[in-house]
Copies of this chain bind each other. A is one copy, B any other.
Amino acid sequence: MVKGKLSERQRRMVEFIERFTVDSGYPPSIREIGKNVGISSTSVVNYNLNRLVDEGYLTRDKNVSRGIRMTKKLLKSVGRLSDVIRIRKVGRIFASEPVPMPSTDSPIFSTDEAIEISRDLLSTTEGLFALEVKGDSMIDAMVNDGDVVVMQREPEWRNGDMVAVWLKDKEETTLKHIYRQGRKVRLQPANPTMQPIIIDNPENLEIQGKVVLVVRQLN
């Protein structure tokens, strides 16, 4: 066998083991693997399991039923490593420019162009992108220089959502809570001591995304 390459069978095995383990809570037995991958002989399954061990995808414990341990390599290879979601950082956010939008949906390779957020903190995982706040211009949104804002590309909004809006006339981006008020729109700063802005003509607004999460790393 060529080092580092998986046969079709082995690939199927890896996939099955991962799926089975995730939704069973325990690893499959040799016979269960065989049955689902289409191998009648337990020894063959055993044989290929050992190959997978050689390749670093698994570790096994002798004489233990279901004694299969998935390695990080395996989890990574099936893209199921943990509950972390990687969100692409598409740039910085200024008051004086529209929000940069993700230019691509291609997978993220490098770590430093992404931020990892535990899925737990997110209600959606679709259409997300992250921006780093530059400058002090967003302090009325309680967002400071260096903070990371996770946004969702989503034209729909509901009362109270915090959104990034581009004010066409002022040529300014701001983060505000947004409310319908009759045919007008009210933009409310997160800082309760500050005054809202009433937009008479909603045409003047361009909603660039919903703010889903703000993260401030202090060190």
Contacts and interface: CB of A to CB of B under 8 A. Distances in A.
B215 A211 contact: no
A44 interface: no
A59 to B, nearest CB: 8
In the A-B complex, the 6 residue pairs with the closest CB atoms: A82-B82, A25-B69, A65-B65, A116-B120, A214-B216, A116-B118
Contacts of A69: 24-26
A59 B25 CA distance: 10
Contacts of A201: none
A118 B65 CA distance: 32
A167 interface: no
25 contacts: A24-B61, A25-B69, A25-B70, A25-B75, A29-B65, A79-B82, A83-B83, A83-B116, A84-B84, A84-B120, A115-B121, A118-B118, A121-B215, A136-B192, A136-B193, A139-B191, A162-B218, A210-B219, A212-B217, A212-B219, A213-B215, A214-B215, A214-B216, A215-B215, A215-B216
Interface string A184-219: 000000111100000000000000001111111111
Q: Quick one: copies of this chain in the complex?
A: 2
A211 B116 CA distance: 19
B84 A118 contact: yes
Given A66-B65, A82-B82, A118-B84, A25 B27 contact: yes
Contacts of A144: 142, 190-191
A139 B136 contact: no
A55 to B, nearest CB: 17
Contacts of A70: 25
A117 interface: yes
A203 to B, nearest CB: 25
Interface in A129-156: 136, 139, 142-144
Interface in A83-139: 83-84, 115-118, 120-121, 123, 136, 139
A54 interface: no
Nearest to A69: B25
A161 interface: yes
